[in-house]
Amino acid sequence: MISFKGKKVIIFDLDYTIVKLRADWHKLRNALRDRFFEVYGEKCEFKSMSSCLSKIVEKEDWEELDIFFDLIRQYELENIEDTVPILETVFFIEQKELFGVSDDTKLAILSLNTRKTILKSLAIAGIRDKIHLIIGREDVRKWKPEPEGLLIIQNYFKVNKEEVIFLGDSDTDIQAGKNAGIDAFYIEELIKLVNKRR
């Protein structure tokens, strides 16, 4: 059962948690794959975009990493105007006190999307001013399900792990929570909760 009792920081994933992005992920993956081959003459295993970026981190090729971030940003922003807010999550963020969340609880985003995509998405959903900290694709070097992003947020707000809760839509999100020792729930559970009270 999801509970916000004693939670001082609530962290959200972005895509399929707060909004639905409409980027052409297939096209983006192809662009990254092509670029990787062009630069390194080797193939990048495409289990996930993060696994490909991790290879660049291994090579400590920070300039190339920036080029990859640029590519991701470019494809994410291409269809940004078609972004669809998830109404239940937006309602929760706007009315969090209705759900037993105290007024001074901080809200943060931990997403694999680029910062600009996150900012634009939050603006489209009308909740930009409700979010206190954003950790995007460019802000970590080990991506979910690695715990780095969650720990950065925990340290930023100087709270204990027990005072943090993370909400996301994917198994990767839940695994990141486990790896960080932070409670993580599927957003579906929050959506059910909101629909009961709305």
Q: Which residues bind Mg ion (CB under 5 A)?
A: 13, 15-16, 169
Phi, psi for 108 (deg, rounded to 5): -135, 160
| Residue 164: CB minimum distance to Mg ion, A | 18
Q: Which is nearer to Mg ion, 54 or 172 (CB)?
A: 172
DSSP state of 178: H
Residue 39 or 124 having the CB closest to Mg ion: 124
Residue 16 beta carbon to Mg ion: minimum distance, rounded to whole angstroms: 4
- What sign results for the dihedral spanned by CA atoms 133, 134, 139, 145? positive
Residue nearer to Mg ion on the CB measure, 8 or 114: 114
* Short-list 83, 100, 106, 96, CA closest to 17: 83
Tell me how far, at minimum, the Cβ of 6 lies from Mg ion, in Å: 25
Closest distance between Mg ion and the C-beta of residue 160, in Å? 26
Q: Which is nearer to Mg ion, 47 or 158 (CB)?
A: 47
